[in-house]
Structure formats: structure tokens, C-alpha cells
């Protein structure tokens, strides 16, 4: 493992507090808030092994290694147990989604985006629709914005719970994985009720969402979000103070804020480095500007703090969902914009206008102006940017999904070089890479 | 798209300052400046690509410390320069964004920006394998998403969506990859 001598280090502020009482009591080590320089210094200290034999062995980890979270392959150069160099190999799951997008209308692209990050499908739909709506200047009605916010936050909850189960399983506990999957099931049941699907939701539409909230959804959703924070407390009781987890995670895989910017590492790994960067706050979209929540921030930039950030985020997500249910406005769930959106399905066989609109949208597609947009939203794994260039007409000329896993997968060498191979398992899990998202 | 000075007033003040600094430093090497849907695009001369992006990262008024996305594009209707490389920059200091793009002819190389932002490594590999845009000075310009023996550039507009192009199995590479 790494140098644990560093983690008992108390920062200056913590020392001052104790000094005021006149004596240092035997409380657990103060975590404190290290500055970026201290983090960089800590990182340098934990990464350099005391001595090297110079005898390098090259092994291939993945694409079918159980801890690689999909078909990610890392070619490792090892000196004993210490990783000297890593060459990441991705692309085993490449499906040419961007090429497929160029052959489809904007409505037909939405089901493709589900397959990017299949753990949090709705968030991907949402990102694409935000970009397409910016391009088409479609005004999304408030009720749709609230439903989108609820669905996006449910994605975040289910993603983080699943992440936790898999992460802890990588570190050697099978039972906890089952506990997490049991709790994720409640969220997936909500999705099944809301969208009809458990993973590939395809629920967002240009200008809104596919359906209104079903009867009884609010009651069930409230039950789940009342119950999940208690579960999070249980996870923390099991994991947070677990000596084995603490030793495996604390001070491992330190990645400072500057490293994060340079390697475009976003989301929980960036927030664990003491940066309160969250697009939901910084560039509000959907209904995030109208709800009250805190950005989860931790300061030690290691695997342990990424776990803490995600647990805080589940709590904050429950808070956001509760506020959205409380403030849910009445009105349309889909914009009434005949040039760009689909009509409501119920109206298609009853009203001639809706029937014509349906025909136009399905057979011709939306009429989009010429231009290019780039919109970035906060998906559970980080920031996803969607670039669309249109040359007019119903199909985009170029679509690019700048997905968080793509950049997180690239940042594996600077994260793990100098650490041991056992730590690589923990570090790789902590940045939350999904290969569908990575390979596109 | 509506080029011109008056439309730029809707942009954040920090971005206006940044663009003025860029304009005074590089002059006519910034070929075009457009604003669309609240986003600013600078089209630049490919010869000045590295200089402009270095300035964008290092100057105090621009301070673009993150390369949010770098991608290739193919516009076959532009006969003399059918390829484009588009970079999206983000500043954590000011919170503003900027798009910088350049037009390239077939086979024309563009200097790599991996020295400025290491996150460009995968992006440039992808742009190379999908469009054939060569990035001079890239440390590891290999195929990224397709197989190592794949032939052709799949995101070019003339590459077919269906068919068996590039599906040949190369036995001569066995054991070398």
C-alpha cells in the first residue's frame, strides 16, 4: 500500500483548535483541508517507491479482468508490485454512435444516447436534448424541466449506489455488492414506472419528456427518497469506518485540482480535490436553478474522499427530488412547437393538427437552422459535452459526445503510476469509468 | 450565424475582454469571429493554431485551463479545405467558454496541443483515426477506437455506413500488436 504516515498529518488550522484547549486530546486524526500545494506534495511522497529493482515485467490487465469494469485494457509495466508505466487501450466496445447519428433525425438519436452510459441512460438523453434544444431554440415547459430534473437525479442515485457496490466488491467484499444492488432496485422500479424501461429509458424528447408522471409515482418516489438517506447512513456505517476500506482507500490515488483540469477529469473526482465545481450550480439548466442544494466537496483528493463525495451527492439528490415533487408545476410535459417537437401521442389520432405534426416529425424530421452548439451538463460521472453541427434539415452533420469516461479512462496513467497494482484496482474503480460511455 | 460586433454584446464581459486580448495579439490570424446561440466561435489560421491556444491557456485575461473537447470534422463541400478541427475551451477562473476552429486541407498537419493540455491525447488520436487529420508532435498517434488493422477513416462523409470496408483480417500483424 502507500505511505500512511502522511495521513495523520494535521493541518495548521486543526493544530490551532487543539492548541486553544491547552492540550491535544486523543481524538481520531483530523482530516483537515489541505491546500493544493500540500496535496501535490502528498502525491509526490506516496508515488515514489523507496527502491526499484529495475527488473520490469509487462502484463496486460483486461479487457476481461474482473476489476476492469468492462472491456478496458491496461498494459502495465511493473517493477515488483509498483506500476512504472501504463498504456490504456480502449475501443473494444466502439459502436460508431457518432456515425450513426449523422444518418438519423434528431428524434431518432435519443435512443442511441441511452447506450452511451447505460448505467445512467436518462442523463445521456437529457444532455443530447439540451444541446438540440439550444440549437433549435425550443422552450421547454416548466413541468418538463422538473420531470427531467427528477429523472436525472434518480440516475445519479442509481449510478452512485451501483458504483459503490462494484467498488467495494473490487476491494474484496461480495456481500456489500448485493446490498447495493437491492437498494438500486428500488430506483430502477421507479424508472420502470416512469419510463417503462429499467436501463435504456429513451425518456427525454426534444422539448420535454415522453410522458407525464404516472399515477402513484409521487407517493412511491417519496417513499424511496425518504428511505435512501437511511441506507446511505448504513453504507457509511459499513464502509466509512471500516478499517480495511480506510487502509485501502485513504491517501491512495491523489489527484490534485490542477491535474484534474489538465486531464479534464470532472465530476466527483474533481470535487474530491476541493473544487466546488458543479454545472448544476455553475451553469444551471433544467430546474436546478430553482431548487436548493449543496455541492458535495471533499478536500483530500483520494479514493476515500471520492467515496464521501458520492455519498453526499446521493443525499443531495434526494433533497433535490423532494423539492421538485413539492414544487411540481402544472402544465405541459412537452413543448407545443410544431416545427421541432413530436405531438403528444394521445392527440395524434384525435386531432388533425397533431396528426400532421406527427407525420412531419416522423417522416421529415425537425427543421433545424444551420449552426453549431456545444452544451455541457453534469451527468453522474462528470461533465458531458455534446457538440452538434447542423447544415439545416432534419439530420445533424456532426455530433460529438465528449463523455466523462473517455477522459477518465485516459487519465489512468497519471493516476496510478507509482502506486501498487493492488491500489490500481481501487483507483480505477474510484474514477467510475463505464466503457459504453468511453468507447461510444 | 450573424457575424459582427453588435451581436457580441450578449456575451459575458470576461469573454469580451479575452477576445479583445486575442484580437490585439493575433490580428488577422483570427480569420472570423461568429456568435451563435450565445456561444463564441473563433476561426483561426492553422499556422497560428498552437500560438493562439498557448495564449488562450497562459494569458491572464483568457485563462482557459481546461480543454473541454477537441474534435475533427469533415465538410466535403469546402473543396480547398475539407477538414476542420474544433476545440472547446473552458476557464475555471472566469467560467467562460470559447470555441476555436481551423480549416485544413487533405493531408495538412496541425501541431498537437498535448503539450498544453494532456487531455488532448485521446481526442487527437480519435480525430486522426476518424478523419485522417495528422497532429504533428503527438507522442502516440495510433488508432484508438477501431482495430489496429482497420483501413480508412470512418467518420468522413464518403465512408459508407454499411458494407465490409476495412473488415479484412490481417494475419501478417499477428504477434506484433
CATH classification of the domain holding A312: 1.10.645.10
Does A26 share its domain with A110? no
| Residue entry with cell 458504483 | A163
Does A175 share its domain with A63? no
> Taking CB atoms and an 8 Å limit, are B119 and A411 in contact across chains?
yes
> Taking CB atoms and an 8 Å limit, are B144 and A90 in contact across chains?
yes
Residue A352 belongs to a domain = yes
> CB-CB: which of A370, A400, A407 is closest to B119?
A407
d(CA A326, CA B49): 51
pLDDT at residue A336, as a whole number? 86
Residue in chain B lying closest to A398 (CA): B73
Q: Which residues of B touch A376 (CB under 8 A)?
A: 68
Residue B102 belongs to a domain = yes
Chain B nearest-CA distance from A137, in A, is: 8
* pLDDT tens readout for residues A389-438: 999 889 999 999 999 999 998 999 988 888 888 888 889 888 888 888 88
d(CA B98, CA A389): 16
Does A43 share its domain with A122? no
Q: Which residues of B touch A263 (CB under 8 A)?
A: 118-119
What's the whole-number average pLDDT of chain A? 85
* pLDDT tens readout for residues A302-346: 899 999 999 999 999 999 999 999 999 998 888 888 888 888 888
Of A429, A431, A381, the closest CA to residue A402 belongs to A381
Of A422, A363, A418, the closest CA to residue A394 belongs to A363
> CB-CB: which of A264, A411, A439 is closest to B68?
A264
Per-residue pLDDT, averaged over A54-58, amounts to 83
Residue A4 belongs to a domain = no
Looking at this predicted complex, what is its ipTM?
A: 0.87
Chain B nearest-CA distance from A297, in A, is: 16
What cell numbers appear for A302 in the block?
A: 483520494
pLDDT at residue B3, as a whole number? 44
Chain A nearest-CA distance from B123, in A, is: 9
Sheet with B83-90, edge to edge strand ranges: B30-36, B39-44, B97-104, B83-90, B66-74
Residues with Cβ within 8 Å of residue B60, at least 6 apart in sequence: none
Does A167 share its domain with A192? yes
Q: Do A91 and B129 contact (CB within 8 A), yes or no?
A: no
Q: Which residues of A touch B32 (CB under 8 A)?
A: none
Does A282 share its domain with A392? yes
User: Which residue, A64, A89, A114, sits at the end of a domain?
Assistant: A89
Give the CA angle between residues A71, A74, A75 to the nearest 5°: 135
The secondary structure element, H or E, covering residue B8 is none
Residue A191 belongs to a domain = yes
d(CA B125, CA A88): 13
Cβ burial, residue A393 (10 Å; 0-12/13-18/19+)? middle
Does A110 share its domain with A63? no
Residue B69 belongs to a domain = yes
Banded pLDDT at B149 (limits 50, 70, 90): confident
Quote the percentage of chain A above a pLDDT of 90.
Answer: 35
User: What does DSSP say about strands A82-89 and A204-205: parallel, antiparallel, or unpaired?
Assistant: unpaired
Per-residue pLDDT, averaged over A230-241, amounts to 88
d(CA A130, CA A134): 6
Does A62 share its domain with A151? no
d(CA B39, CA B96): 10
User: Which residue, A48, A65, A89, sits at the end of a domain?
Assistant: A89
The secondary structure element, H or E, covering residue B52 is helix B49-58
Out of A71-75, A434-438, B146-150, which region has the weakest mean confidence (pLDDT)? Answer: B146-150
Banded pLDDT at A96 (limits 50, 70, 90): confident
- Whether pLDDT at B148 is above 50: yes
Residue B1 belongs to a domain = no
User: Which residue, A40, A70, A89, sits at the end of a domain?
Assistant: A89
Residue B78 DSSP code: -
**Structural domains counted in chain A:** 2
pLDDT at residue A79, as a whole number? 85
What cell numbers appear for A378 in the block?
A: 453534469
Q: Which long-range contacts (CB under 8 A, 24 or more apart) does A235-240 make?
A: A235/A164, A235/A179, A235/A180, A235/A311, A236/A311, A238/A176, A238/A179, A239/A164, A239/A168, A239/A176, A239/A307, A240/A307, A240/A308, A240/A311
Sheet with A396-402, edge to edge strand ranges: A368-379, A382-393, A396-402
Per-residue pLDDT, averaged over A376-394, amounts to 91
Residues with Cβ within 8 Å of residue A86, at least 6 apart in sequence: A74, A75, A76, A77, A412, A413, A416, A417
Does A184 share its domain with A289? yes
Please enumerate residues of B whose Cβ is less than 8 A from a Cβ of A: 1, 36-37, 39, 41, 65-69, 71, 73-75, 86, 88, 92, 95, 97, 99, 117-119, 121-122, 143-147, 154-155, 157, 159, 161
Does A173 share its domain with A318? yes
d(CA A405, CA A439): 9
d(CA A217, CA A190): 7
Of B80, B84, B51, B54, the closest CA to residue B67 belongs to B54
- Whether pLDDT at A388 is above 90: yes
Banded pLDDT at B177 (limits 50, 70, 90): low
Residue A249 belongs to a domain = yes
Per-residue pLDDT, averaged over A350-379, amounts to 90
d(CA A404, CA A117): 10
> Taking CB atoms and an 8 Å limit, are B122 and A410 in contact across chains?
yes
Q: Do A214 and A193 contact (CB within 8 A), yes or no?
A: yes
CATH of the domain at B129: 3.30.460.80
Residue A272 belongs to a domain = yes
Range of the domain at B143: 6-173
* pLDDT tens readout for residues B17-62: 888 888 888 887 778 888 888 888 989 988 889 999 998 888 888 8
Residue A15 belongs to a domain = no
Residues with Cβ within 8 Å of residue A197, at least 6 apart in sequence: A121, A191, A203
Residue A64 belongs to a domain = yes
Range of the domain at A52: 22-89
Does A59 share its domain with A139? no
Q: Do A404 and A266 contact (CB within 8 A), yes or no?
A: yes
Does A228 share its domain with A314? yes
Does A149 share its domain with A81? no
Q: Do B150 and B167 contact (CB within 8 A), yes or no?
A: no
**Structural domains counted in chain B:** 1
- Whether pLDDT at B151 is above 80: no
Task: Give, in order, the Cα–Cα distances in Å from A206 to each of A44, A66, A126, A365, B29.
Answer: 48, 38, 9, 11, 38
| Residue entry with cell 432534419 | A394
Per-residue pLDDT, averaged over A18-26, amounts to 40
Residue A299 belongs to a domain = yes
Out of A177-186, B12-21, B36-45, which region has the weakest mean confidence (pLDDT)? Answer: B12-21
Amino acid at each position: 500500500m502507500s505511505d500512511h504516515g502522511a495521513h495523520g498529518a494535521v493541518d495548521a488550522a486543526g493544530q490551532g483548535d487543539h492548541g486553544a484547549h491547552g492540550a491535544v486530546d486523543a481524538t481520531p486524526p483530523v482530516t483537515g483541508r489541505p491546500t493544493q500545494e500540500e496535496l501535490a506534495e502528498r502525491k509526490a511522497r506516496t508515488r515514489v517507491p523507496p527502491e526499484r529493482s529495475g527488473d520490469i515485467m509487462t502484463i496486460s490487465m483486461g479487457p476481461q479482468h474482473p476489476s476492469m469494469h468492462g472491456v478496458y485494457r491496461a498494459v502495465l509495466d511493473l517493477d515488483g508490485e509498483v506500476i512504472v508505466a501504463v498504456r490504456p487501450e480502449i475501443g473494444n466496445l466502439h459502436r460508431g454512435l457518432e456515425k450513426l447519428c449523422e444518418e438519423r433525425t434528431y428524434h431518432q438519436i435519443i435512443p442511441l444516447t441511452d447506450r452511451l452510459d447505460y448505467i445512467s441512460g436518462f442523463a445521456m438523453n437529457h444532455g443530447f436534448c439540451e444541446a438540440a434544444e439550444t440549437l433549435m431554440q425550443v422552450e421547454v415547459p416548466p413541468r418538463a424541466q422538473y420531470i427531467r430534473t427528477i429523472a436525472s437525479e434518480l440516475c445519479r442515485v442509481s449510478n452512485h449506489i451501483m458504483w459503490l457496490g462494484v467498488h467495494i466488491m473490487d476491494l474484496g467484499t461480495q456481500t456489500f455488492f448485493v446490498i447495493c444492488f437491492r437498494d438500486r432496485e428500488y430506483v430502477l422500479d421507479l424508472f420502470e414506472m416512469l419510463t417503462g424501461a429499467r436501463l435504456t429509458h429513451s425518456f427525454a424528447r426534444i422539448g420535454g419528456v415522453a410522458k407525464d408522471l404516472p399515477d402513484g409515482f409521487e407517493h412511491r418516489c417519496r417513499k424511496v427518497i425518504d428511505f435512501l438517506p437511511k441506507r446511505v447512513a448504513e453504507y457509511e456505517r459499513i464502509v466509512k469506518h471500516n478499517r480495511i476500506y480506510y487502509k485501502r482507500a485513504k491517501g491512495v490515488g491523489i489527484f490534485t485540482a490542477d491535474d484534474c483540469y489538465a486531464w479534464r477529469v470532472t465530476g466527483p473526482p474533481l470535487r474530491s480535490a476541493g473544487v466546488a465545481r458543479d454545472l448544476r450550480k455553475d451553469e444551471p439548466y433544467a430546474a436546478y436553478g430553482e431548487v436548493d442544494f449543496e455541492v458535495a466537496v471533499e478536500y483530500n483528493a483520494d479514493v476515500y474522499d471520492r467515496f464521501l463525495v458520492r455519498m453526499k451527492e446521493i443525499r443531495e439528490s434526494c433533497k433535490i427530488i423532494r423539492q421538485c415533487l413539492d414544487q411540481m408545476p402544472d402544465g405541459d410535459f412537452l413543448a407545443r412547437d410544431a416545427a421541432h417537437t413530436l405531438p403528444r401521442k394521445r392527440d395524434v389520432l384525435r386531432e388533425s393538427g397533431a396528426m400532421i405534426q406527427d407525420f412531419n416529425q416522423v417522416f421529415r424530421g425537425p427543421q433545424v437552422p444551420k449552426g453549431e452548439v456545444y452544451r455541457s451538463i453534469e451527468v453522474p460521472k462528470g461533465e458531458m459535452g455534446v457538440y452538434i453541427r447542423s447544415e439545416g434539415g432534419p439530420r445533424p452533420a456532426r455530433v460529438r459526445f465528449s463523455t466523462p469516461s473517455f477522459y477518465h479512462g485516459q487519465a489512468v496513467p497519471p493516476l496510478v503510476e507509482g502506486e501498487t497494482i493492488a491500489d490500481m484496482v481501487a483507483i480505477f474503480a474510484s474514477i467510475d469509468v463505464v466503457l459504453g460511455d468511453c468507447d461510444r | 450565424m450573424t457575424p459582427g460586433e453588435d451581436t457580441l454584446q450578449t456575451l459575458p464581459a470576461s469573454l469580451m475582454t479575452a477576445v479583445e486580448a486575442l484580437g490585439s495579439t493575433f490580428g488577422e490570424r483570427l480569420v472570423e469571429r461568429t456568435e451563435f446561440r450565445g456561444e463564441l466561435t473563433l476561426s483561426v489560421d492553422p499556422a497560428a493554431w498552437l500560438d493562439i491556444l498557448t495564449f488562450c491557456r497562459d494569458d491572464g485575461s483568457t485563462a482557459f485551463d481546461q480543454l473541454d473537447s477537441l474534435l475533427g470534422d469533415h465538410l466535403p463541400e469546402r473543396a480547398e479545405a475539407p477538414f476542420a478541427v474544433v476545440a472547446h475551451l473552458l476557464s475555471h477562473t472566469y467560467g467562460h467558454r470559447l470555441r476555436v476552429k481551423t480549416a485544413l486541407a487533405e493531408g495538412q498537419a496541425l501541431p498537437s496541443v498535448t503539450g498544453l493540455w494532456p487531455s488532448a491525447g485521446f481526442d487527437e488520436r480519435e480525430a486522426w483515426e476518424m478523419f485522417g487529420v495528422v497532429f504533428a508532435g503527438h507522442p502516440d498517434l495510433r488508432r484508438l477506437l477501431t482495430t489496429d488493422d482497420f483501413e480508412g477513416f470512418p467518420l468522413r462523409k464518403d465512408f459508407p455506413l454499411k458494407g465490409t470496408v476495412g473488415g479484412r483480417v490481417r494475419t501478417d500483424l499477428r504477434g506484433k500488436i
